[in-house]
Amino acid sequence: MKAALLGKKIGMTSLFTADGEHIPCTVIEAGPCPVVQLRTKDTDGYSAVQIGFGDMPSRKVNKPIKGHFDKAGVAPTYNLKEFRDLDTSIEVGQNLTVEQFAKGDKVHVVGKSKGRGFQGVVKRHGFGGVGMATHGQSDRQRHPGSIGQSSYPSRVLKGMKMAGRMGGNRVTTRNMEILEVYPERNLLLIKGSIPGAPNSLVEIVK
C-alpha cells in the first residue's frame, strides 16, 4: 500500500556526497498530518483516508469545521486532502509522519506552480521569435508569427499556442528520490526541484 503526506515547501539547498558530487535538493516540512476521516465503500462508495495539515487558530474555526474535527478528536487544520489506497491499518486520530518514508524511496510530489501572469509566446511556450532585428524590422522579434490560414479554413485552430496566463497549475513531478529524512524536525530532503513557491502546499505520495 502507498504512503502519503501533506507538507510545505521550505526552499532549496545542496548536499555533497562523500566523493564530492554536488546534489541540488528541496527541503519539505511534511506533517505531522492527523487522520481526520476514513471513507469506506459501505458509507461513501469508495475507500479513502482524509488527512489534515497546518494548524488553524481557534478564532478562525466556524461551527461546521469545529464539529468535523471534534468528531475525529483532532485539532482543526487549514488543509484537508483525501488519499486512496493507503494502509488499511490507519485509524482516525492517528498522526502520519515522515517516518513513513526512508532514504532512497521514490515519491511523486504534487504542487501548484508559480503564477507568472500574462506572458508572451517566447516565455510561455519557448518560441524563438520571428524575423531579424535588421532590414527595417525593429518590433516583431518576440511575436508568434502567423496564427491562422488564409482561404481555408479561414480561422484560428483550437489549441494554437499563443500568449496568455502562465503558471498557477497543479503540477506533478514523478519518481523524485528522497535523499534524507529528519523525523525529529519533520523534514524531507528530495533530490531536484519541485513545483511551487516557498511555503506553498505540496502532496508527497509513495
Same domain, residue pair 61 and 134: no
Helix (H, G, I), strand (E, B) or coil at 139: coil
Same domain, residue pair 143 and 41: no
Counts of helices then strands in the chain (DSSP H, E): 3, 12
Weakest mean pLDDT among 68-82, 120-134, 152-166: 120-134
* Spatial distance between the Cα atoms of 171 and 83, rounded to a whole number of angstroms: 17
Same domain, residue pair 158 and 144: yes
What single-letter amino acid sits at 124? R
Find the mean pLDDT for residues 24-34: 94
Q: What percent of the chain has pLDDT above 70? A: 99
Predicted local confidence at residue 33, as pLDDT: 94
Domain range spanning residue 137?
Answer: 124-166
Find the mean pLDDT for residues 66-77: 93
The cell for 2 is: 502507498
Same domain, residue pair 82 and 29: yes
Same domain, residue pair 117 and 128: no
Residue 195 pLDDT grade (very low, low, confident, very high; cuts 50, 70, 90): very high
Residue 85 pLDDT grade (very low, low, confident, very high; cuts 50, 70, 90): confident
Residue 24 pLDDT grade (very low, low, confident, very high; cuts 50, 70, 90): very high
pLDDT digits (tens, 9 = 90+) for 131-184: 677 777 777 888 888 898 888 888 999 999 999 999 999 999 999 999 999 999
Full-model pTM: 0.84
The cell for 67 is: 464539529
Same domain, residue pair 51 and 140: no
Count of domains observed in the chain: 2
H helix runs in 45-193, sequence order: 63-72, 121-125
Which residues, in sequence order, are bridge partners of residue 205?
A: 4, 108
* Spatial distance between the Cα atoms of 100 and 181, rounded to a whole number of angstroms: 10
**Bigger pLDDT: 7 vs 31:** 7
Say if residue 143 is exposed, middle or buried (CB neighbours under 10 Å; 0-12, 13-18, 19+).
middle
Predicted local confidence at residue 148, as pLDDT: 87
Asked whether 148 and 157 are in contact (CB, 8 A), the reply is: yes
* Spatial distance between the Cα atoms of 120 and 164, rounded to a whole number of angstroms: 7
The alpha carbon of residue 146 and the mean position of all alpha carbons in its chain are separated, in whole angstroms, by: 35
Same domain, residue pair 57 and 150: no
Task: Show the CA angle centred on residue 49, arms to residues 180 and 96, nearest 5°.
Answer: 35
Predicted local confidence at residue 150, as pLDDT: 83
Residue 1 pLDDT grade (very low, low, confident, very high; cuts 50, 70, 90): low
